[in-house]
């Protein structure tokens, strides 16, 4: 998490320690809310981090999307329940090994889907 301090001329040493003390008093969730950082959890490793560092996988609910229930969403907003996976080949492997997507989407997930995810991860590295 990045906490930005005011520039030295504005804060001075005393100012910075006051801000630190102030932040320590707040609960972590309060700071996160205060800073407006959306935190998401990886479905494979369970790590929590900023939403931007994840690949988003969405289950659409449209009937005509029957064969495309699982899509990899690189855009920020799309309808449907979203799940997050680290942009890390290791996490894709873990998800595949532990059948994470099958559990989430409660349907069979073809190896092709995992390949697509793998590719998407490699493209963003
Ligand atoms: Zn992960």
Please give the residue range of the domain that contains residue 50.
Answer: 39-124
Residues paired with 82 in a beta bridge: 58
- pTM for this model (two decimals): 0.62
Q: What is the pLDDT of residue 56?
A: 87
Q: How far is the CA of 30 from the centre of ligand 1 (A)?
A: 24
Residues 7 and 45 in one domain: no
Domain count, the chain: 2
More confident call, 77 vs 79: 79
Q: What is the pLDDT of residue 66?
A: 53
Q: What is the pLDDT of residue 85?
A: 93
What values do phi and psi take at 46, rounded to 5?
80, 5
Q: How far is the CA of 27 from the centre of ligand 1 (A)?
A: 25
Lowest mean pLDDT among 10-14, 16-20, 62-66, 98-102: 10-14
Residues 120 and 61 in one domain: yes
């Amino acid at each position: 998490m990045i906490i930005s301090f005011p520039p030295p001329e504005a804060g001075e040493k005393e100012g910075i320690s006051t801000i630190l003390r102030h932040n320590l008093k707040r609960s972590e969730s309060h700071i996160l809310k205060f800073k407006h950082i959306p935190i998401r959890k990886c479905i494979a490793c369970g790590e929590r981090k900023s939403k931007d560092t994840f690949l988003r996988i969405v289950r659409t609910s449209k009937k005509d999307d029957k064969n495309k229930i699982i899509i990899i969403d690189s855009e920020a907003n799309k309808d449907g329940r979203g799940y997050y996976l680290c942009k890390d080949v290791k996490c894709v492997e873990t998800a595949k090994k532990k059948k994470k997507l099958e559990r989430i989407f409660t349907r069979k997930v073809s190896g092709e889907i995992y390949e697509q995810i793998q590719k998407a991860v490699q493209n963003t590295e």
